[in-house]
Amino acid sequence: MQLILNSDSYEQVLTLASEFRRTVRGMRDLIDDEAERLRRIEQKAREVSRLYGYNEVITPLVERYELLAAKVGEDNRKRMFVFEDLGGRKVALRPEFTASVARLVATKMQSAPRPLRLFSVGSLYRYDEPQFGRYREFWQANYELFGSSRPEADTEILALTDNLLKEIGAKNYHFKIGHVGVLRSILSHDGIAEEVQNSIMKLLDKKQYDDAVEVARKAGSPKSSLETLESILKIRGQDSETVVSKTCETVKNFPEALDAARNLGEILSLLKAGGIEVNLVIEAGFARGLEYYTGMVFEIYTQGMDIAVGGGGRYDKLIELFGGGQVPAVGVALGVDRLSLSLQKQGSTFQGSGESRILVVAVDSSMFGEAVKVSSILRKNGVAVELETMGRSVSKALSDADRRSVTHAVIVGSREIKEKKVVLRFMKERTQETVPLGRLLEKIGRKG
Ligand code: HAM
């Protein structure tokens, strides 16, 4: 069938084509190094999950809106990709993993032995304003530990995070850490409703300290509490003992806030006892935008980037909210894209795998079948092989291989193959030799 276009519709098609060719705002194509870095970080994250005994779970990208919206915080709630499916259900693309994993624990994994350690990695969606390190589709490596309310569990999450950062070669990073129990206990003590507390936390997350105190004042916090809140917001430092003891002193008239400050102290001293030396900035008034946190909260910052590469904390009430009983939980999510950016910024590239990269070229089309056989032998032995499939001459294929960091070329010619041999070219050295097939693996540095 022939499509006949008049000039108007032709122009329309061109305009549409240029629109279609662009990715949707906030969405990216990841190619070459970017794709490779993302997958390598993912690989390292999976390796760390194995080392710490976290089993991978794969949850759906689309969930019920209500589940995802429950405690994600007002800002994240407003930025969800929400739609109605064809069955009329209100659904959304996941903006984080925690709600989905908590749903699992409240349902299918309710009777799984505790502690339960779960790992997830994949893409997430938030309608954030695109800018450096902020996208509408991004990746996280997420770890959750269920069943322990003890500081040991919080410490494990911090240690694991530090381990992953070291594993991928991140340098000059620090943990900003606090405990939402300190502030929330004071507000609860004054009878401030949870929604008002959430809006105060949201303002603190955005560093709008005065506005936060003003909301507490309007909600009826007495002068003495407001003064305590103001003092807490000023307590920060790098030495955990000093900051924790200052916080304890400040909140001594609020028993639950005092417990929270002591809990933070315990977590940090366990970290020290375990020999895990991380740079810390402890902030007594630190809050995060997500509403489910009940205890220790933290974020990770790397030098030169003022956006967090990861964040997490304790959330002991979410499983109960999802009908799964009282299950304490603590977890962390590392932003894979931001980790990748920070590695790029600090100039570190992942060490190449050091693997050989082989090109197999047939001298002419009659030798192509033999070239396929040679490739199969190499691949069976775990060697990555690219086969020349463009019908190019050997010299053209070799000059292309030079540009693509191929380490060796295997040239398959009729004379050599009759003697069960091939020509092996060492690309960097620009030398070549005729090699029996039986010794090919050894010659390219691989055991057979
Ligand atoms: P979150 O702080 O919302 O925490 O996100 C964790 C990390 O995801 C951030 O530190 C950042 O690296 C990355 N991230 C978030 N939004 C974007 C974006 N628009 N573009 C690029 N990267 C982004 C959570 O998601 C919690 N679920 C963490 C958690 C797990 N808490 C307990 N368990």
Mean predicted confidence (pLDDT) in 124-151: 97
* Ligand 1 centre distance from Cα of residue 43 (Å): 19
Q: Can you tell me whether residue 221 is helix, strand or coil? A: coil
Indicate if the pLDDT at residue 443 is higher than 50: yes
Return mean pLDDT, the chain: 93
- Say whether the peptide bond before residue 115 is cis (omega within 30 degrees of 0): yes
For ligand 1, atom 10, which residue shows the shortest CA distance? 310
Residue 11, pLDDT score: 74
Indicate if the pLDDT at residue 430 is higher than 80: yes
DSSP 435: E
Q: Can you tell me whether residue 389 is helix, strand or coil? A: coil
The pLDDT tens digits of the residues spanning 340-362 come to 999 988 877 665 556 788 999 99
Q: Could you identify the atom of ligand 1 that is nearest to the CA of residue 332? A: 30
Sheet of strand 55-56: strand arrangement: 55-56, 116-125, 137-146, 329-335, 310-314, 296-302, 173-179, 279-283, 236-237
Q: What radius of gyration, in Å, describes the C-alpha atoms of the chain?
A: 28
Q: Which residues sit with their C-beta closer than 6 Å to ligand 1?
A: 96, 98, 126, 128, 133-135, 138, 140, 142, 144, 290, 308-313, 331-333, 335, 337-338
* Ligand 1 centre distance from Cα of residue 205 (Å): 14
Phi, psi of 109 (to 5 degrees): -110, 20
The pLDDT tens digits of the residues spanning 76-118 come to 999 999 999 999 999 999 999 999 999 999 999 999 999 999 9
CA–chain centroid gap for 284, Å, is 26
Mean predicted confidence (pLDDT) in 234-245: 97
Residues constituting the chain: 448
The pLDDT confidence band at residue 1, using thresholds 50, 70 and 90, is: very low
Please enumerate in sequence order all residues whose Cβ is within 8 A of that of 328, keeping only pairs 6 or more positions apart, or say none: 146, 147, 148, 149, 153, 314, 316
* Ligand 1 centre distance from Cα of residue 124 (Å): 9
Residue of 140, 173, 300, 343 best suited for mutating to test ligand 1, as the one with most atoms within 8 Å of CB: 140
Q: H helices within 168-237, ranges in order? A: 180-189, 194-205, 209-218, 223-234
3-state secondary structure 11-41: HHHHHHHHHHCCCCCCCCCCCHHHHHHHHHH
Share of the chain above pLDDT 70, in %: 96
The tokens for 277 are 């030396």
Residue of 127, 144, 290 best suited for mutating to test ligand 1, as the one with most atoms within 8 Å of CB: 290
Please enumerate in sequence order all residues whose Cβ is within 8 A of that of 428, keeping only pairs 6 or more positions apart, or say none: 407
* Ligand 1 centre distance from Cα of residue 15 (Å): 37
The pLDDT tens digits of the residues spanning 265-309 come to 999 999 999 999 999 999 999 999 899 999 999 999 998 888 999
The pLDDT tens digits of the residues spanning 142-161 come to 999 999 999 999 999 999 99
The pLDDT tens digits of the residues spanning 22-32 come to 999 999 999 98
Flag the least confident range among 46-55, 339-348, 375-384: 339-348
* Ligand 1 centre distance from Cα of residue 297 (Å): 13
Residue 118, pLDDT score: 98
The tokens for 27 are 């969405």
Q: Could you identify the atom of ligand 1 that is nearest to the CA of residue 334? A: 7
For ligand 1, atom 21, which residue shows the shortest CA distance? 134
Indicate if the pLDDT at residue 119 is higher than 50: yes
Residue 256 vs residue 7, higher pLDDT:
256
* Ligand 1 centre distance from Cα of residue 38 (Å): 16
Pick from 346, 351, 369, 320: nearest CA to 149: 320
* Ligand 1 centre distance from Cα of residue 403 (Å): 38
Sheet of strand 385-387: strand arrangement: 385-387, 358-362, 408-412, 421-426, 431-436
Residue 188, pLDDT score: 95
CA–chain centroid gap for 364, Å, is 47
